[in-house]
Amino acid sequence: MAIDRRAVVERHDVVLTAPNPQAPLTVGNGDFACTVDVTGMQTFTEHQDPTHAQPGQLVTNTCTQSTWGWHEMPNPEGYTLADAMSPYATARGDVDYPDKFDLATMLGAEPEPEMLPGAWLHMNPHRLDLGRVGLLLRAGDEDTPETDPAVLTNCCQRLHLWSGTIQSTFWYAGVQVAVTTAAHPERSQVAFRIEAPLLASGRLEVAIAFPYASATFMKTSDWDAAERHTTTVVHHDADGARIRRMLDATTYTVALSWDHGTLGATEDPHRFRLSTDADHLDLVVTYSAGGEYAPGATVDAVLDAAARSWEEFWQSGAAVDFARCTDPRAGELERRVVLSQYLTAVNCAGRMPPQETGLMANSWAGKFHLEMHWWHAAHFVTWGRPELLRRSLDWYKSILPSAKGTARKQGYDGARWPKQVGPDGRESPGDIGPFLVWQQPHLLYFAELLCRDDPSGAVVTELAELVHETARFMASFVEQRDGRYHLLPPLIPAQEFYDRWTTEDPTFELAYWWWGLEIAQRWRERQGSQRDPTWTAVQALLAHPHQRDGVYTAIATDPYLRRDDHPALLGALGVVPATPLVDADLMRSTLVDVLADWNWDSAWGWDFPMVAMCATRLGDPNTAVNALLMDLPKNAYLANGHNAQMGNFLPVYLPGNGGLLAAVSLMLGGSDDTDRPAPGFPSGGTWDVDYEGFRRWP
């Protein structure tokens, strides 16, 4: 029996009945998003600012962001990546790595002189907050606007997932206000429909405000730098206006379209008020990098386009219904699954890899972490929506010359993909990021997933160069010693707390290296070529993961295994399919050992799905379910679906959402090495799951 997809989705509409600064709601399309507070707009910006939060108060920013909106602070010293380099000894001689960066700088501390280049390069470019559109609520004509949502009563806000629309109602000064919010599925465009008698009386207006950029962690805006940017109305008539924004070398356009209203200036050159003498107001705001805009845009058109697009999304790909399950955790798991699909489609399905906080906040200056791209987006393919991953792979093509240049400068072949980057693909200096390597095989994994889902075979040609150059680097990165190929320093594994000077042969990376090269070999065969003999030699002689006392260790050098941060060694048979390097029985013992004695409070949101994937591939569905649903703070999902980590440091953490979807798709759809239906859920009993449309994992 087919799943009633609409019923499944709609029973998890987000409903908020009071202001909740930790759980704002977002509308968007993968390349653009607008996050709003309980009013359905960006009204109480200070109340939603994590930097103004009281001790212990959890707050998530409201902002407007895109994949195209970036900014750089002036660079009068002309800092380049070479200014942040230090030499590291390798078998190929000294190799320069950009390691000159102090973590405290990211949090606003003044860097030491030698760290100044790295500080600037680490924090630039950063993602722009394009602007805020909120309400001005005044108790009386002469009163100042409200700044605290506590003045609102009878709040009811619903995110209608099936249509991608937010309906917000509340009472203020004894009068009801209703706001409808939606984003266009293809444009950087958001629509608001405001219905309230207070509009006509002048006690409710729309506030439009533009901040300067911010390069500090989590802070998307600087409201105290009015002299550093310009906001100019370049066109204004009865139906709308166009505003040109200039922040240093960055320019973009904001087009406003309304049904009836008057735009007024304020004493602040970056703030405007939109008023009307009617009891309702339709407003469409279109942001663009090149000045293009949609003339005559209407709220109805945006609402219709959003509804069509989201219905198509929910009707496409895979679906799962836990309604017949009797395990008391099933309903919560279904809620997480539904909301994670929405959040990753809004934030992780754009033309560039997403940042860890998506389009909702600026973690690490808004840059994306390529080692996290797998956790954000691999699931799109196994959920039957491959196009949502495919969109971002052209960006890798755009930075391929830079990635090849990095490899060449370090004495390697092929292309070395960076870790923390903006749209230009330049590595960010740091004492961890430049030494990570587990992002290298991700492209090969993406390619394999897409190839398996492409009956035309076109993806083989489209991604051939990326596959080839990635594998060339991987084969040249290993070093031969004592008849084996090894992954040697300087190196930091996925479990990032190991010493970059001494760490050797991390377990997860070794398995991933072998399997990645195997994918590249299959790619050659698909193109009618022979397997590459150099790659074959590396595969045949690649070091096996280190083991001790009957279990695998994380690395092959002292301290061998730390029991905090990511239990990444489990990814060697979980994220990665079975390989000749990993013994299943030994990994089974390792899984038991990890579960028995790990500091789970130090783990991260994607670690729990990774454990579940390992258990699934080992044929242990009870452990898989229990791992996925561990009752721990970092494995909690807020009312809006956010997998928050570390309080206000990461109030949104999308690798957890994407990882959850990856694990569930493996647990239901299975993989090539199992014929058991739904191998990650116990058969019969309390987990009677209905599902359809999943693609098998390798």
Q: Is 486 inside a domain boundary? A: no
Q: Is 555 inside a domain boundary? A: no
Token reading at 516? 């990645």
Report d(CA 375, CA 224) in Å as an integer. 36
CATH assignment of the domain containing 221: 2.70.98.40
Token reading at 178? 């209703």
What is the tens place of the pLDDT at every residue in 33-54? 999 999 999 999 988 888 777 7
Query: Is 576 buried (19+), middle (13-18) or exposed (0-12) by CB count in 10 A?
Result: buried
> Mutual orientation of helices 654-669 and 621-628 as an angle, nearest 10°?
160
Taking 90 as the threshold, does the pLDDT of residue 106 lie above it?
no
Taking 80 as the threshold, does the pLDDT of residue 104 lie above it?
no
Amino acid 53: pLDDT: 78
Q: Is 487 inside a domain boundary? A: no
Taking 90 as the threshold, does the pLDDT of residue 269 lie above it?
yes
Of 136-150, 282-296, 453-467, least confident by mean pLDDT is 282-296
Q: Is 272 inside a domain boundary? A: yes
Say how many domains are in the chain: 1
* Residue listed under structure tokens 């076109």: 458
Q: Is 205 inside a domain boundary? A: yes
* Residue listed under structure tokens 């069509």: 308
Q: What is the mean pLDDT of the chain?
A: 95
DSSP string, 58-110: ------EEESS-EE----TT---GGGGEEEEEETTEEEEEE----HHHHTTPP
Range of the domain at 160: 5-69+126-314
User: Do residues 696 and 665 make contact, with C-beta atoms less than 8 angstroms apart?
Assistant: no
Taking 70 as the threshold, does the pLDDT of residue 119 lie above it?
yes
* Residue listed under structure tokens 């409710």: 204
What is the tens place of the pLDDT at every residue in 408-452? 999 999 999 999 999 999 999 999 999 999 999 999 999 999 999
User: Quick one: three-class SS letters along 10-67?
Assistant: HCCCEEECCCCCCCCEEEECCCEEEEECCCCCCCCCCCCCHHHCCCCCCCCCCCEEEC
Taking 90 as the threshold, does the pLDDT of residue 272 lie above it?
yes
Amino acid 293: pLDDT: 65
What is the tens place of the pLDDT at every residue in 661-678? 999 999 999 999 888 999
Q: Is 227 inside a domain boundary? A: yes
Beta bridge partners of 691: 320
Confidence of residue 174 (pLDDT cuts 50, 70, 90): very high
What is the tens place of the pLDDT at every residue in 224-249? 999 999 999 999 999 999 999 999 99
Taking 80 as the threshold, does the pLDDT of residue 337 lie above it?
yes
- Is the torsion defined by CA of 358, 161, 670, 535 positive or negative? negative
Of 206-220, 301-315, 565-579, least confident by mean pLDDT is 206-220
Q: Is 577 inside a domain boundary? A: no
Taking 70 as the threshold, does the pLDDT of residue 292 lie above it?
no
Confidence of residue 294 (pLDDT cuts 50, 70, 90): low
User: Do residues 150 and 61 make contact, with C-beta atoms less than 8 angstroms apart?
Assistant: no
Q: What percent of the chain is modeled with pLDDT above 70?
A: 99
Report d(CA 404, CA 412) in Å as an integer. 9
Q: Is 284 inside a domain boundary? A: yes
Amino acid 295: pLDDT: 67
Amino acid 109: pLDDT: 75
